[in-house]
């Protein structure tokens, strides 16, 4: 019985170690459709119509993909956009929206010392046929220290 308990204990420790080794990918923030647009997904299609609904779905998927440190799923790299010299910001075009993935060098001041890092995250600008108004943009930008962003982005750092 004691041998069985020891084996179970070792397996449990192994599972915990594996979980923490990959937890940076598992803990990535996501915004669900209702949080982003304040309507249930199944109601959005009836409310907004097929074309707008599908643009919102794809924009939502791309937004969450970037929050997880991955490339957008649907939007394609905008090869005609300027290349900013800010640390890695990229521009993409989707169906009814443009997506900016900010990766901009920034520092937090700690007295005379600096904590180096990036402002990182997605910003979606919707074209007039999807959302129109004074601010047709949804963004989620946060500061990451170098090592934290490297964990999030993995090989794409």
Look at residue 128 and give its three-state secondary structure: coil
pLDDT tens-digit map of 61-90: 999 999 999 999 999 999 999 888 888 999
Domain-by-domain residue ranges, the chain? 2-156
pTM: 0.80
Question: Residue 61 phi/psi, 5° resolution?
Answer: -65, -45
pLDDT tens-digit map of 30-63: 999 999 999 999 999 999 999 999 999 999 999 9
């Amino acid at each position: 019985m004691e041998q069985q308990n020891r084996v179970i204990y070792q397996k449990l420790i192994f599972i915990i170690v594996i979980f923490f080794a990959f937890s940076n990918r598992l803990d990535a923030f996501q915004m669900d459709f209702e949080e982003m647009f304040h309507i249930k997904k199944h109601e959005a299609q009836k409310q907004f119509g097929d074309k707008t609904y599908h643009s919102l779905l794809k924009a939502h998927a791309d937004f969450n993909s970037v929050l997880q440190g991955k490339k957008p799923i649907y939007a394609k790299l905008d090869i005609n956009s300027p290349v900013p010299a800010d640390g890695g910001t990229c521009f993409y075009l989707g169906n009814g929206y443009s997506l900016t993935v900010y990766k901009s060098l920034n520092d937090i001041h700690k007295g005379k010392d600096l904590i180096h890092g990036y402002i990182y995250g997605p910003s979606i600008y919707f074209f007039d046929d999807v959302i129109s108004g004074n601010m047709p943009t949804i963004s989620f930008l946060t500061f990451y220290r170098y090592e934290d962003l490297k964990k999030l982005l993995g090989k794409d750092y």
